[in-house]
Structure 1
Amino acid sequence: MLEKQTDYNKAVTSPTFQELLKRKRAFIVPMAIFFLTFYFLLPLLTAYFEFLNQPALGAITWAWIFAFAQFVMTWTLCIVYTRKAQQFDKLTEDFKKEIGGVGS
């Protein structure tokens, strides 16, 4: 039995695939920039500024609060991406049906 061959040139130019790429890029690029900026701010700020070494809550300094916020930010971005991925999965399924691929 012969399997239907997918025309990848046609698939990559399909409007559904282009919309999937556009939406993923619109979400992933800003989130990656935010994450990397937030992540590298702590070592940069502690290296060049003294205000993060000032007490915030008793003996806890602002650097510790910022470091803890990085954990919160990482988990939050993970949850947001997981929810957003469901939309990407729906677009992927639509695309697979459109081109007659596996799982359609």
Structure 2
Amino acid sequence: MELKKEAAETPVSLNYKRMVVSSPFQKLIKSKKRFTLFTTVFFLAFSLLLPILAFYSDILTKPLIEPFSWGWAFAFAQFFMTWGVCHLYIKKAAQFDQIAKDVLEAEEKEMGRDGQ
């Protein structure tokens, strides 16, 4: 809702071609891609490790604390990993939103200087 309200308050037509090639915007896109790739690879690797270890080794059958095996520990660790990734995503998304807002504000100022 806030974005729509802010958009209604600023009737300035932005130069998107200039904004897309700007250094701050390019840094934003690069950091978002890097974050998305890293978290996706980590999530998939961690998630797929459980069935791989379960089917192709006996590591997860060894006792950790009676009556729990390493398999149970790894399965429960996946819940914590998912919550951790979600928490990290929320923090990073807030940073990305702030950077995007800064890019838009800089473009609005630039449009004001150009007299458009």
User: Greater CA deviation, 65-74 or 50-59?
Assistant: 50-59
Residue in structure 2 matched with residue 27 of structure 1 by the alignment = 35
SS at match of 1:35: helix
Structure 1 portions without partners, runs of 5+:
none
Residue in structure 2 matched with residue 78 of structure 1 by the alignment = 86
Q: May I ask how many residue pairs the two structures share in their alignment?
A: 99
SS at match of 2:44: helix
Find the aligned partners of 1:61 and 1:10 in 2 and give their Cα distance: 57
Residue in structure 1 matched with residue 55 of structure 2 by the alignment = 47
Question: How many Å apart are 1:99 and its aligned residue?
Answer: 2.5
Instruction: Give me the identity figure in percent.
Output: 40
Work out which structure has the larger RCO, using CA pairs closer than 8 Å and 6 or more positions apart in sequence: 2
Q: TM-score by structure 1 length?
A: 0.84
Find the aligned partners of 2:12 and 2:32 in 1 and give their Cα distance: 28
* Structure 1 moving runs of 4+ over 6 Å: none
1:8-55 deviations in whole A, cap 9, x for unaligned? 322211112101112212222111111110000000110100121122
Q: TM-score by structure 2 length?
A: 0.76
Q: Answer yes or no: is 1:65 the counterpart of 2:77.
A: no
SS at match of 1:6: coil
- Answer 1 or 2: which has greater helix percent: 2
Write the letter of the residue equivalent to 2:80. Answer: V
